[in-house]
Chains A and B, each alone.
Chain A
Amino acid sequence: MKKFDPDRPWDLTTLPTTMAPQGSRPHAPVEDQCFLGAEADIKQPPKLQEAVATIKNWFRASSLNVLAFGTGCGAIELRPLSTSRFDMSRFGIPGAPTPRQSNVFIISGYLSVKTLTRVIRCYEQMPDPKWVVALGSCTINGGMYWDSYNTIKVLDLYLPVDVYVSGCMPRPEALIAGFQYLMDDVKKGKANGWHHYLENLEWYRENQKQVITDWDLPNYNW
């Protein structure tokens, strides 16, 4: 954002569009106790502590709710995946209609700058802990949209990614394999992308503002 210039007070682009409320923290409190090995301040014997964390993470891995948000061509692979042929509900992965009821975000393909704004908004509304699965080459290095004027190339500059599934487009089996990697990582307490996002919020915001020039999201995390 440009600095406010007193000689040009009519230039509204220099004004911050949204301000954090007075006295608020830059982001929501980080729930450190979620993770294996991060529960040192709880007065419990280490064995019990470890067991509790393992059980918590096992519950989390068994409760993945995928947000119904298709961003690119990969959304076409989600239909056979969620219906009878490949049927992801046999792995215990249901879909969820709104961001506030889901915790897995599948970025299914290329992201235009306009979509990226909506994706960030949805991602920040999802409750913690939450995970991002990036599907297709476009999210890794731009894929076939490497020279597109309106499509980002590297997704993890803007959102933390836990699992990448490469291919153009990956088949539903590949996405199932990606889910199993994600479940394993969640069970081990390794899939901490959302934690990384909160810790490095300023860095992510800087990258996001470089492509989203008419930024109207709050500077704090929702």
Chain B
Amino acid sequence: MFDINHGNLDDSPDVGQEIVRRIHDRFGDFPARFQKADLVRLDVPQKDIIPVLSWLRTETPFVQLTHLTAVDWLEDGQFELMYLVTAPDLMVSLHLCVRLDRAKAEAESVFNLWLQAETYEQEINEMFGIHFPGSPRQGVPFILEGWRDMPPMRRDFDTVAYCDRTHPVRPGREHQDSRVYVGRKFGEKGYLK
């Protein structure tokens, strides 16, 4: 797609460098990391993410939302949303990372840019408890039907304690180490024979 200030992106020898230069020109000096020849990571502030994504979606070849997921940075008190946006014609991906406040876990929806973001946002809402106002199916169960606990992908969710509380174990099979049972059956060092 032709940009009047910079020329055609397809003609550029290094599309990653070129798209980062254009984003820097247009939106500000975000830290960029060139991870691979076809993958660039950009750390974008929360206020700039929707303008950047709208611009990528409408005016550049980066038209495909390949993935949207979240990471829990418990020690920093933050969530990180990761948008993987791909230019299918050029086979280059942009990895846009946004930090959110963990106490007020809310982000703007990109459903109006990519319809498939609905499912990603529903899943993030269920697994991390991040709310996307305006996105359809927020709060509708996706995998966890009838879940009544903290969202399970938050790192302060104690998986083993929840599992012990909810799912009973078979009597006599409380340990997960098979050496316990082999040792019980064949003597202490039976498994080494």
- Using a CB–CB cutoff of 8 Å, the interface residues on chain A facing chain B are 112-114, 117, 140-142, 146-154, 157, 210-215
A149 touches B145 (CB 8 A): no
Chain A residues lying within 8 Å of B168, measured Cβ to Cβ, are 153-154, 157
B162 touches A149 (CB 8 A): yes
A147 touches B170 (CB 8 A): no
A211 to B166, CA, bound (A): 7
- Once A147-B159, A149-B162 are accepted as A-B contacts, the answer to whether A141 and B145 lie under 8 Å apart by CB is no
The binding surface of chain B is classed by DSSP as: loop
* Chain B residue nearest to A113 in the complex (CB): B145
A210 to B146, CA, bound (A): 11
Other 5 A-B pairs with CB < 8 A, given A153-B169, A215-B146: A146-B176, A150-B143, A150-B144, A212-B145, A214-B145
B167 touches A213 (CB 8 A): no
Cβ 8 A contact of B146, one of A149, A152, A213: A213
Q: How large is the interface on B (under 10, 10 to 19, 20 to 34, 35 or more residues)?
A: 20 to 34
A154 touches B169 (CB 8 A): yes
A148 touches B176 (CB 8 A): no
Chain B residues lying within 8 Å of A112, measured Cβ to Cβ, are 143
A141 touches B170 (CB 8 A): yes
Q: In the complex, what's the smallest C-beta–C-beta distance from B158 to chain A, in angstroms?
A: 9
Chain A residues lying within 8 Å of B173, measured Cβ to Cβ, are 140-141
A to B CB contacts below 8 Å, 17 in the list: A112-B143, A113-B145, A117-B145, A141-B169, A146-B176, A147-B159, A147-B160, A148-B163, A149-B152, A150-B143, A151-B167, A153-B167, A153-B170, A154-B168, A154-B169, A211-B166, A213-B146
Q: In the complex, what's the smallest C-beta–C-beta distance from B138 to chain A, in angstroms?
A: 18
Chain B residues lying within 8 Å of A150, measured Cβ to Cβ, are 143-144, 152
Chain B residues lying within 8 Å of A142, measured Cβ to Cβ, are 167, 169
Chain A residues lying within 8 Å of B36, measured Cβ to Cβ, are none
A157 to B143, CA, bound (A): 22
* Chain B residue nearest to A213 in the complex (CB): B146
B148 in the interface (beta carbon within 8 A): yes
A117 to B157, CA, bound (A): 24
Q: In the complex, what's the smallest C-beta–C-beta distance from B101 to chain A, in angstroms?
A: 26
A148 to B145, CA, bound (A): 15
A147 touches B146 (CB 8 A): no
Chain A residues lying within 8 Å of B159, measured Cβ to Cβ, are 147-149
Chain B residues lying within 8 Å of A147, measured Cβ to Cβ, are 159-160, 163
Q: In the complex, what's the smallest C-beta–C-beta distance from B126 to chain A, in angstroms?
A: 11
A211 touches B145 (CB 8 A): no
A141 to B160, CA, bound (A): 15
Chain A residues lying within 8 Å of B169, measured Cβ to Cβ, are 141-142, 146, 153-154
A141 to B159, CA, bound (A): 17
Q: In the complex, what's the smallest C-beta–C-beta distance from B19 to chain A, in angstroms?
A: 39
* Chain A residue nearest to B159 in the complex (CB): A149
Q: In the complex, what's the smallest C-beta–C-beta distance from A163 to chain B, in angstroms?
A: 17
